[in-house]
Structure 1
Amino acid sequence: MKEKLFALDIGTRSVVGIILEKEHDSYNIIDIFSQEHSERAMLDGQIHDVLAVSKVISDIKSQLEEVHGPFKEVSVAAAGRALKTERAEMTINIGGKPMLKREDILHLEFSAVQEAQTIIAKQNTTQSTYYCVGYSVLYYRLDGQELGSLIDQSGDEASVEIIATFLPKVVVESLLAALKRADLEMQALTLEPIAAINVLIPASMRRLNVALVDIGAGTSDIALTDSGTVIAYGMVPIAGDEITESISDSLLLDFPLAEQAKRDLANQEHIMVTDILGFVNEFPREEIIQNIHPALDRLAEAISTEILALNNAIAPRAVMLIGGGSQTPDLPRLLAQKLNLPENRVAIRGIDAIQNLKISDTIQKGPELVTPIGIAIAADKNPIQYISVTVDDRPIRMFDMKRTNVGDCLLAAGLRISKLYGKPGMAKIVHINGQQIMLPGKQGEKSLITLNGVETSLDTEVKNADVIMTTKGADGEPAMTRIKDLLDGQITRTVTVNGTEHRISASITRNGETVTGDEFVEDHDQIVCHLPGTIQKLIKELQLPELLASLEPYSFHLNGKEIQLPALAGRITKNGLETKLAYSFEDGDEIEITTMAPPKLGDVAKKLNIQHTFTAPVFFEDKQVMLSRKLAEFRRDDVLLDENEVIHAGDSLALIQQEPEPFIFQDIFRHVVIDFPHQGNNRFILIKNEQETTFQEKVSPGDRLKILWPTIKNE
C-alpha cells in the first residue's frame, strides 16, 4: 500500500494543505487545498491566535478527509523568519599549552555558540528559550592571524568567530497547541527555508553561496546557503501585496481584481479589466509594468538590501525565487540589476524543478507550491524529532534538528563549556625596573566527558536515553620562571665603539639583594637590572666623556645671544646608519662617533640666513659689471672677519647689519676704471638705458650704463 503524507504550510495570510503519495523514492501530488485566515492570527511566522489558526487547520483537514479519509498526523514547518542568527567570537589563552587538538577546538567553538546564545537572550525581552539548530565557523585566528584550521597549531592566543542559528521554543509550542486543537499530532517538523532548499538544491550544490527568496503576500523570506549549510535567515515586510496595491491605485481596481490582473501580467500581452466606475479598459502589459515600476523597484531594493546585509555585503552566486509573489513581472531582472548579477543568475523555480515528483496536468506548477511540497518531502526525509538524554544526572529534552552530538547536549543543559577546563595555575606578579609583569600559570587540563560510561568527545553523536557525565579538568600549576628568562637571557652585551670592543655586564638585584639570574622568581619580587639602555648611558659607563663632548650641539654667542647649530655637531652611527644618543643598542652593535670640523664664517652666515653682501649685475660700456655692497660685518674681539675665518664653538661675535639700499649711477665708479679722453675739455654725459641721467639716478639689475665724451668744435 502506498504511503500518504499530509503536510500543512501555515503562512501569514493563508494555510495550504497538501497530500502526497509516496512510492519508494518518488512522490505524487494527490490533492491540495488552501484557505485564508479570517483574521490576523499570524504575524511574521508566529502564531498569535492559536484558536483562529486551529479553526483554519480544522477546516482544511475536514475538506481533505471527505475525499481521502481521516488523518491523525501532519507534518508542519517553522517559518524561517522565526529563526534568529547571531555572530559571536571567543578567545582563549593557549600560551604554554601543547598543540591544539580537535577537542580543544570544539570546546572553543561551543563556547562561542554559548556566547551567541547569551547575546540572543539579552536581546529578547520575552525571556523565550532558544534551541540552537546549527552553527558555522566563519574564522579561526591564531595570535590575530586568520587561519584555515587550528588543529596542531600553537601560539599565545586562539580565537574563533561563528554564526549560530536559534529557534524560539514558543514557535514550536504554539504549533503543537494549534494542531492539538484540530485533533492532529505533529508527525514531523522542519524549517520552511530548509524544506524549500532541500527539494530545490541537491546536496552536491549546497556548498554554493545561494539565496532562496520566498515571496508571499505580506513578507518576503530569505535564506542563504554556503559551505553545505544554511548560514542566515532574514525577512522584509514587503511582498506581493505591495504590487497588487500599486495596480489597484493605477487602474482604479478593487483588490481582488488587481490581484487577478497581476497574475495575468505573467502570461498575457494585453490585460482587460473593469474599474470601480464600471468602465472596461484594455491595457498593454508594458504600460502597466511601467506604471507600477516604483513599487517593483521598492520590492527589489528591499530584498536585495536584506540579501547583502545577511551575506556580508557580497552578492550570492545565484538567487532562486519561489512563492506566489515571485511571479511579479520584471522582478527577477530588477533583482539581478541591484545585486550586479547576470540576469540568468536570478530565476523563478516552480515545483517542476523538484526531483522525483510526479505532477498531474490538473496541478499548477508554479512557485507558490514549492514550500508546501518541500515541507511534506523534507519532513518525511529529514524529520526533526525530540530525544531525551541525561547530563550529570539531569534529564534534558533535545530538539533533534540535525546530527545531535555531546556538545549540543551540554549547551542545552546550560553547562559553560569554558568552565569544564581546569583553572589556570596561580599567576605571579613581579616588578622589573619598576614595570609590573604578570606571569601566567600553566593551563588547566581539559574535562573528562563520558557517554554511557565511556570517555568521549564533544562531537560524538548521541541517541535517545544516552547518559552524559562531565568531570572538571585538573587545575594548572603555578608559574615557574627564572629571573634571567624574564630578562630575555641577555644580561651581557658586547659592543664596539670607534673600533674598540667593550663587554658590558648587567648587575641584578632581587628585593635589594644581588643575584645571579638563575633563581626562580617569587610573587611580588622587586627585580632591578642595571644595564645601559641607551648609547649615551653606554658612553658614560665606558667613561669616554670626550666622545660625548664632541656630540654636544655646536654653539657660539652672537651679539650676546647663544646660537645653536645642531647640524654642525658631531655625527653618530650604529652599524653604518645614523642614530642618536637616546637610541638603544644591541649585542654586537658597532658604534662610530665622528667630530665635525669647525665651520667658516660664510657657512655660519648661510645657516643663519644672514645676507653678507648685496649685489646687482649691470652693463657698463656693454660689459657686465657686478655691483656689490657689504650688508653685514662680523667682528671677534673688535677684529673684522672675512667669510673664510674659522668660527670655534664658544666664540663671541658681534654683528652689524645694514638695510639694503638701491645702487645709484655713481656706484659704478667703485668697480670700473674710467678712460678719460686725451683731448678736449673732459666734458661728459651720463647715459642709462639710452637716456641721459645723473650720478644720483637709481640703478636696477640689468641696466645698461655709458659715459659719453662729446667733442667741442673751435669757434
Structure 2
Amino acid sequence: EVSEAIKPVVDQITTEISTVVTELNGGAPSVVMVVGGGAKVPGFVESLARKMDLPLDRVSLKSVESTGLVEDLTGKVKGSEYITPVGIAYSAMRNRGSVFSQVFVNGVPVKLMGGVGRYSVMQVLIQAGYRFSSLVGGEMISFELNGKTLLRPKRRTSVKILVNGEEANLSSRVKHGDRIDIQTEEEKTPLRIKDLVKPVKVKLPDGEVEEILPEIVKNGTPVPPDADVEEGDVISFPEKIKISEIKSKISYGKTRIVVNGEEKWISLVNFDLLKGGVPLKDDKEVPLGEEIDLVEKGRKTLEEALEVPHITVSFNGELKKIPLKILHRIDEERVELKDFKPMVIDLLKDLKLDGLKDYELLKNGRRAMFTELLEDGDVIEFKVKK
C-alpha cells in the first residue's frame, strides 16, 4: 500500500531528474550513479532506470563505503544514506570550518555546498535555478545526422556573462564572494542544417573566404543549407565534395544575365583551385572542413561563359572555331542567342576579294559552292588563280 501511495511522486521526481540529466549530458548517459539516502525509497532506482531507458544494473546507489573518505570506527556508517552527512563533514574539514560558499548571481546570494572551494559559472547558475537548456539554447530536439542520433538546442542562445565585472563564460571558475552578472537572450534564428555541417573554405584573391557546402538531403528530399532542423529529422550529406562541384557553387566572378528571357548566373573568370600551392583536378574529392585557395587565370568572353556551341573547321591549313549561335546584346543585363548555320562564305569575309577573276574552292577535297553549309571537321581550301 505504501509503495502504491508514493508511486506517483516517485514517477514525477524521476521524470524531472531524467530530463535534467539528459540536458546536462547532451543525451542519455551510459551509466547513472545515484547519491543520497532518498534514493533508497522503494521503486526509485527502478523508475529512474526506466525513464533513462537503461538496464537496471546501469543505475546504482553510491554507498559511503566506496568514497574512501571515512574510516568507520563504529561499524555503523554504511549505505547511501550516510553520503550527505559525510559530505558535509568532509566539506567542513576542507574549508576550515565553512561548509558553504556564497556567490552572487545578478545581486542575489547563492549558497554552494561542497569541498572544491572553486566552482564553474555553470555550476553556480544551475544551483541558482537556471535550466541548462536556457543557457545553451532552449528546447532540445533529437535528430539523425549521417546515421548518428544527436541532441541539440532548437534555438541558439546568446549569453553574456561577467565575473566581478570582467567578461567570462560558462566554464570560468568562481570562488567565495565572487559576483556573476548574466544576461541571456534567445536568438530568433532556429537551428539550421548549415550550423551542423563543416563547409569547405575557399580563400579568394581579395582575401575574403567563401564557404561551400555539399548537397544535403532531409527526410529523403534535397534541401538548401539554411533549412530548419526539426524534431525527428533524418539528415544526410557526403563527407567530401568534388572540385568540379565546388567550382560550380563558387559565386566569385559570377554575374547575373538574362538570356532569351531566362535569368542565369555565369562566371566570367577562369580560375584554379589549389591546396598547398598544387592545382586540384576536377575529379579530386576534398573533405569537409578543408581550406583551399582560388587563383585567377584570366577572364572569359561572354560566349565562353555562356558555353555557346561551336564547330571547328580547317581553312587553308588554319583551324577556325565558328559559333553555332549568334549573340546579340540588348543592354548590360540582357542578351539574345539565335541559331546560326555557318556557310563556306563565312570563312571568306576577312579576305580581300576585289578584282577576283578566277579561284578554286574545295570542301574536303571536292569542288564546293559558297552557300554550302559547314560541319565540324570540314577542310576548306580557297585558292586564287592568276
TM-score normalised per structure 1: 0.18
Larger Rg: 1
Looking at secondary structure, tell me which structure has more strand per residue. Answer: 2
TM-score normalised per structure 2: 0.30
